[in-house]
């Protein structure tokens, strides 16, 4: 006989058998300990009373060993006792017949496909078989929810003839068809959670596009927010309630509530990225919580309805294949339930230590598609795309994992791409015609009629430049189109292209830049071959010179400084532009950054130029950035041109006209040949006959000119037109080349020439010869190389080409755009 301590610890009592490690009386299996009578009086000796496990009592000691309680009904049904005899199986406190049944082949393993690990899970070992049995045999809703959760932890992956969590779920789903469905949804069995949309080919396309969402949305009126809800379940299958996704329910990255809730503003592209510590995720998520996501909307009867959100799990494996990876929607298998962090299924031998592997929802994307040809903001049901990352635990404090949450809006871009291709095709065809016209004009200007390799190369270069303008016009049009229509729409009819859909646009911009760079190099090379000659009309003055030997007559030589001065001024006006590049860049940046025009390029429906510091800043669209920048650049450039042409040149100074006046004051003309038989001419011949004079005579000449006491400055009598475009004859050009070639010979390497004195004399002689020839040509001194002056036809001005070919006589066209004279390099 043993002496022990009572259960309440206040008395000693005799024990009929052994003692526990705490000194209490202990009874054998199937018996309970009784220390007091029915009145509560302490017995002299404790008793071990048998619980009657047979009919009709069917009792069994409870977990404390102090009371008899009725055993589970499954024991009574299977063995008519409180014992679970073979071939029955005892699991999770229930007894069931598993002989030859799928429940006897349960695999308590979890598959981590990214790591290639098949792990025995302690949680599944403890609960999978019991949950499956309770769900299958007794339709226990909580057990079915727990079984569904274990399938979700296994990434909804299924393989034929494998009794893992998802295999058991699919088996139960198939064998419970007689129980009916929930809310007329064929994929949702009664008492069983809705995990799959089935795996029929093409079913995903029907689910996502067969029926539009029953509620419309807008940017600036009602329904500007999408109301996402979630039904929450714990890992044991208990329903935790309904919660809104606002406040960052599915967003692992921390942030203020205003930025977190911006994810569900309709039309706002949302991106949130961060890096999370594994140790923090383990502390915050000791057990996974499961979410069934819905979208709430108002019904016609005023009641709130919900629409299920399908899930595309990129980690799902069907027959050992990742079927959801790729763009083939017919291969997708859509699911329903998700979780954020699972640190429970990756525990092998104990539930209290660190898991071997933790699974994290590292990338969640909600994709919303607009119904084509809608003008009321009608969308298809949202699709949630989720990707999990498997992390093998080594040092949780030093391990991090990148996570992201995003919401994207998309629309079928096929019609827009077709329209863009049509625009490029039509404008590209017109570019070919325009390039042919420009090539024909170029051929006429170089005085050639043959189509040779040089002609083909010139055509390709001209076509490259025109095609660059086509690409630029199309891309600017695209930018304006999306900027105006997307930001200005009230009832939504379009969404911005996704970044992946902007590749064609980036290609067009790259083509425009590349082709324009080729054209720029061609212009630079062409400028190196331009011939410029300054014609000095000044003639030596005869004047007697006094000398020591007596009165000898002589002449004053013509000063070269006037020509040097004109040449220097010509070089200086090469940088004169109607658009100041530095001011243009600074002004554009000022409007973008200070005034906030850059906010118009954000992927959200707001047209506000200012944003609060606490507002969510959406990512920018490259198309909108291009459109905003192009609009500002063109607008400010046009304003500069209008200001320069309408105000500055009229009331301040016009450097080009001043240069022409300076040529007249200096008695120097400018003869420019940009092509072999085409160029420009500035008539600077002084109406006073000479310009190399003193101050008094110069003032007198200006006074006479102001009082109209002398002829006008124009090339022809009684005209004041001083600038011309020239189409010179081949004979005139040949004579120019002969003189020019002699001048080039004298500029060869010094070792091939006689002396520096000889070089200088020959160069001076060639200069005077060219000056005499060109001045005589302007004075109509050569009958076989004469010219006439005419006005260009309107069509000639529009096409920038000449219809008449200078056969025997050259042609001078009245007037020219002063700025077309710039950019020429002195030969």
Q: What is the pLDDT of residues 208-262, one digit of tens each?
A: 998 999 998 988 877 789 999 999 999 999 999 999 999 999 999 999 999 999 9
Residue that wins the pLDDT comparison between 96 and 357: 357
Confidence band for 741, pLDDT divided at 50, 70 and 90: confident
Count CB neighbours of 406 within 10 A.
Answer: 17
Cα–Cα distance measured from residue 191 to residue 673, given in angstroms and rounded to the nearest whole number: 92
Strands 723-727 and 290-298: unpaired
Percentage of the chain modeled with pLDDT above 70: 94
Using CA atoms, how far residue 761 sits from 133, 370, 754, 764, 766, in Å, is 115, 82, 11, 5, 9
Question: Sign of torsion, CA 649 654 656 661?
Answer: positive
Contact 792, 813 (CB under 8 A): yes
Confidence band for 748, pLDDT divided at 50, 70 and 90: low
Tokens of 180: 């009916």
pLDDT, tens only, 247-305 = 999 999 999 999 999 999 999 999 999 999 999 999 999 999 999 999 999 877 778 89
DSSP 528-568: TT-EEEEEE---PEEEEEEETTEEEEEEEPPPSHHHHHHHH
Q: Among 813, 377, 453, which residue's Cα sits nearest to residue 804? A: 813
DSSP 761-778: HHHHHHHHHHHHHHHHHH
Helix, strand, coil share of the chain (percent; to 5): 40, 25, 40
Q: Among 269, 247, 252, which residue's Cα sits nearest to residue 403? A: 252
Residue with the two structure tokens 């921390």: 254
Contact 714, 720 (CB under 8 A): yes
pLDDT, tens only, 682-708 = 999 988 878 888 888 888 888 888 888
Contact 74, 94 (CB under 8 A): yes
Peptide bond just before 87 cis, omega within 30 deg: yes
Contact 405, 253 (CB under 8 A): yes
Residue 554 forms beta bridges with which residues?
Answer: 543
Give the residue-averaged pLDDT of 452-474: 94
Q: Among 632, 627, 590, 592, which residue's Cα sits nearest to residue 609? A: 592
Provide the residue ranges of all domains of the chain, joining segments of one domain with +.
2-70, 88-189, 203-412, 413-495+502-528, 559-646, 655-821
Give the residue-averaged pLDDT of 783-793: 91
Give the residue-averaged pLDDT of 562-574: 91
50-59, 177-186, 515-524: least confident range: 50-59
Cα–Cα distance measured from residue 634 to residue 588, given in angstroms and rounded to the nearest whole number: 10
Euclidean distance between the first and final Cα of the chain, in Å?
A: 129
Tokens of 460: 């390709």
Confidence band for 62, pLDDT divided at 50, 70 and 90: confident
Peptide bond just before 327 cis, omega within 30 deg: no
Cα–Cα distance measured from residue 11 to residue 25, given in angstroms and rounded to the nearest whole number: 12
Cα–Cα distance measured from residue 569 to residue 646, given in angstroms and rounded to the nearest whole number: 24
Please report how many Cα atoms fall inside a 13 Å half-sphere around the Cα of residue 816, on the Cβ side. 22
Give the residue-averaged pLDDT of 122-148: 90
Contact 320, 159 (CB under 8 A): yes
Give the residue-averaged pLDDT of 506-532: 92
Contact 20, 66 (CB under 8 A): no
Q: At 672, is the secondary structure helix, strand, or coil?
A: strand
State the pLDDT at residue 176: 83
DSSP 385-445: EEEEEEEE-S-TTT-EEEEEEEEEEE---HHHHHHHHHHHHHHHHHHHHHHHHHHHHHHHH
Q: What is the tally of helices (H) and strands (E) in the chain? A: 19, 31
Percentage of the chain modeled with pLDDT above 90: 49
Tokens of 250: 């599915």
Q: At 325, is the secondary structure helix, strand, or coil?
A: coil
């Amino acid at each position: 006989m043993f002496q022990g301590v009572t259960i309440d610890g206040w008395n000693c009592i005799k024990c009929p058998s052994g003692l526990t490690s705490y000194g209490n009386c202990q009874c054998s299996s199937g018996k309970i300990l009784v220390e007091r009578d029915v009145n509560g009086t302490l017995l002299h000796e404790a008793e071990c009373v048998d619980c009657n496990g047979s009919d009709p009592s069917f009792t069994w000691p409870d977990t404390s060993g102090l009371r008899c309680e009725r055993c589970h009904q499954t024991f009574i049904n299977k063995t008519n006792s409180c014992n679970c005899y073979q071939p029955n199986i005892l699991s999770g406190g229930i007894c069931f017949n598993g002989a030859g049944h799928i429940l006897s082949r349960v695999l308590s393993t979890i598959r981590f496909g990214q790591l290639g690990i098949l792990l025995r899970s302690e949680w599944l070992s403890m609960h999978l078989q019991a949950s499956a049995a309770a769900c299958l045999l007794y339709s226990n809703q909580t057990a079915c929810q727990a079984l569904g959760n274990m399938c979700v932890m296994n990434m909804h992956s299924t393989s034929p003839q494998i009794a893992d969590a998802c295999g058991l779920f699919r088996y139960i789903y198939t064998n419970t068809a007689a129980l009916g469905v929930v809310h007329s949804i064929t994929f949702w069995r009664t008492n069983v959670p809705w995990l799959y949309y089935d795996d029929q080919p093409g079913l995903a396309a029907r689910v996502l596009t067969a029926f539009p969402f029953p509620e419309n949305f807008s940017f600036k009126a009602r329904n500007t927010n999408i109301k996402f809800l979630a039904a929450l379940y714990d890992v044991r299958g208990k329903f935790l309630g309904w919660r809104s996704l606002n406040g960052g329910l599915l967003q692992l990255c921390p942030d203020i509530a205003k930025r977190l809730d911006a994810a569900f503003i309709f039309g706002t592209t949302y991106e949130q990225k961060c890096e999370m510590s594994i140790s923090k995720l383990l502390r915050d998520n000791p057990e996974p919580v499961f979410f069934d996501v819905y979208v709430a909307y108002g019904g016609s009867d005023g009641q709130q309805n919900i629409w299920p959100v399908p899930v595309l799990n990129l980690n799902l494996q069907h027959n050992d294949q990742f079927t959801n990876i790729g763009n083939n929607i017919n291969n997708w298998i859509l699911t329903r339930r998700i979780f954020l962090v699972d640190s429970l299924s990756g525990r092998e031998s104990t539930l209290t230590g660190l898991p071997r592997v933790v699974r994290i929802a590292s990338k969640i994307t909600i994709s919303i598609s607009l119904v084509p040809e809608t003008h009321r903001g009608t969308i298809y049901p949202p699709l949630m795309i989720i990707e999990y990352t498997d992390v093998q635990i080594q040092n949780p404090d030093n391990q991090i994992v990148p996570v992201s949450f995003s919401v994207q809006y998309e629309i079928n871009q096929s019609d827009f791409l077709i329209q863009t291709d049509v625009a490029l095709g039509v404008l590209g065809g017109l570019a070919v015609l325009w390039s042919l016209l420009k090539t024909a004009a170029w051929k006429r200007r170089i005085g050639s009629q043959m189509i040779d390799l040089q002609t083909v190369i010139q055509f390709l270069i001209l076509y490259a430049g025109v095609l660059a303008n086509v690409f630029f016009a199309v891309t600017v049009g695209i930018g304006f189109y999306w900027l105006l229509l997307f930001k200005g729409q009230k009832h939504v009819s379009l969404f911005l292209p996704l970044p992946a859909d902007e590749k064609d646009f980036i290609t067009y911009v790259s083509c425009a830049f590349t082709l324009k760079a080729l054209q720029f190099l061609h212009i630079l090379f062409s400028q190196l071959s331009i011939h410029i000659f300054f014609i000095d009309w000044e003639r030596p003055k005869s004047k007697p010179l006094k000398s020591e030997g007596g009165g000898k007559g002589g002449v004053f030589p013509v000063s070269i400084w006037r020509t040097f001065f004109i040449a220097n001024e010509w070089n200086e006006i090469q940088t004169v532009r109607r658009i100041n590049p530095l001011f243009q860049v600074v002004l554009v940046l000022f409007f973008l950054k200070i005034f906030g025009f850059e906010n118009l390029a954000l992927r959200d429906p707001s047209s506000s130029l200012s944003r609060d510091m606490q507002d969510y800043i959406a990512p920018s669209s490259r198309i909108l950035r291009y459109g905003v920048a192009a609009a500002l650049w063109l607008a400010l450039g046009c304003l500069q041109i209008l200001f320069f042409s309408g105000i500055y040149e009229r009331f301040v100074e016009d450097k080009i006209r001043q240069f022409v006046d300076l040529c007249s004051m200096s008695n120097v003309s400018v003869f420019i040949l940009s092509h072999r038989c085409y160029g420009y001419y500035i008539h600077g011949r002084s109406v006073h006959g000479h310009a190399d004079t003193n101050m008094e005579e110069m003032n007198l000449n200006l006074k006479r000119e102001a009082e109209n006491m002398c002829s006008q400055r124009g090339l022809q009598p009684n005209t004041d037109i001083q600038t011309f475009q020239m189409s010179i004859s081949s004979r005139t050009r040949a004579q120019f080349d002969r003189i020019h070639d002699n001048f080039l010979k004298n500029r060869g390497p010094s070792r091939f020439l006689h002396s520096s004195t000889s070089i200088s004399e020959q160069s001076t002689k060639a200069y005077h010869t060219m000056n005499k020839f060109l001045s005589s040509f302007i004075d109509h001194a050569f009958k076989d190389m004469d010219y006439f002056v005419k006005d260009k036809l309107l069509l000639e001005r529009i096409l920038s080409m000449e219809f008449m070919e200078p056969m025997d006589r050259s042609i001078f066209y009245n007037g020219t755009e002063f700025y077309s004279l710039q950019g020429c390099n002195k030969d």
